[in-house]
Amino acid sequence: RLLVDAVGCWRLTKKFLKPLREAGIKVSPFSPVEFPLINSRLNFRNHRKIVVVDGLIGFVGGVNIADKYLHKSSYYGYWRDTHLRITGGAVHSLQAIFATDWHFCTGENLLLSEFFPAQIEQEVNPVQIVSSGPDSNWESIMQGFFAMIALALKNINIVTPYLILNESILTAIKIASLSGVDIKIIVPQKPDHLLVHWGSRSYYQELIQAGVKIYEYQKGFIHSKIMTIDGVISSIGTANMDIRSFTQNFEVNAFVYSYEVAAELDAVFTQDLSNSKQISWEDFNKRPVSSRILESTARLFSPLL
């Protein structure tokens, strides 16, 4: 079964999907846009990236299925992303989220025992699979981020392609930094959406003034969505550090409680830092007036980005 967001995959043609369907693959669009019936749901997109195999192996993270993820885009060049492979009980949580989305789109019930085989539990790293979206009264992933930041005692490492912060997360990051927590954030230097790029840069000044270290990735485009806290707790998933992911998109993240996983992600983070340039206050303060105007204008639209 293949579920694709109708807006995110708007270029997929019937001709492209025909051989998939002929091969027996069930394909469904998520919330297709019908212009005579445009309503508030137009803005609610499924941003989840879930693969579940036989109910035993699951994948979640930032990787979509597209040529640019294979470094085939002349504009983006090298594409840097992070994805997580899961086995054990957490796979059933991923599958239940997919099944719920599939039922919403097709009416087919996949919450059946035949799709959820018994798991063989081995050495365990505790994992919470957390979903959020406009169908819930709780912004669960954002609240998870807030709790992680508030609990930090030593350091926070964040990688996000978009940095459009609501007041809660912005305040939490600044307070943590002012309390002595070492906070590093990696974002792309090369934009894929200009308005979002300038909106992200509009947060640099107050973050840098609070002691947060901002780095722009130079090697290509970085699309990872990860956060580690004190080398103990990690988040890997589909949610960007932005308002759209917090409130408007259907997202899913894995919160992992493991020194081993956090150490691996921190090592990758250090490698990404070697391909990034820190934005110093002195350099950022020298930016031209045109950049300041673009940042301020984009900031006005931040709740929509």
CB-CB contact of 253 with 144 (8 Å)? yes
Residue 141, both tokens: 């992933």
Q: Is 59 helix (H, G, I), strand (E, B) or coil?
A: strand
Q: How many residues does the chain have?
A: 305
Q: Are 206 and 303 in contact (CB under 8 A)?
A: no
∠3-244-28 over CA atoms, to 5°?
10
Q: Helix, strand or coil for residue 47?
A: coil
Distance CA 124, CA 45 (A): 33
- Catalytic residue annotation: 47, 49, 54, 223, 225, 230
Cα separation values, 221 from 64, 143, 217, 234, 275, Å = 14, 27, 7, 22, 11
What is the rounded distance in angstroms from the CA atom of residue 226 to the CA atom of residue 236?
5
- Unique residue bearing structure tokens 């020194």: 259
Round to whole Å and give the CA distance between 284 and 270.
23
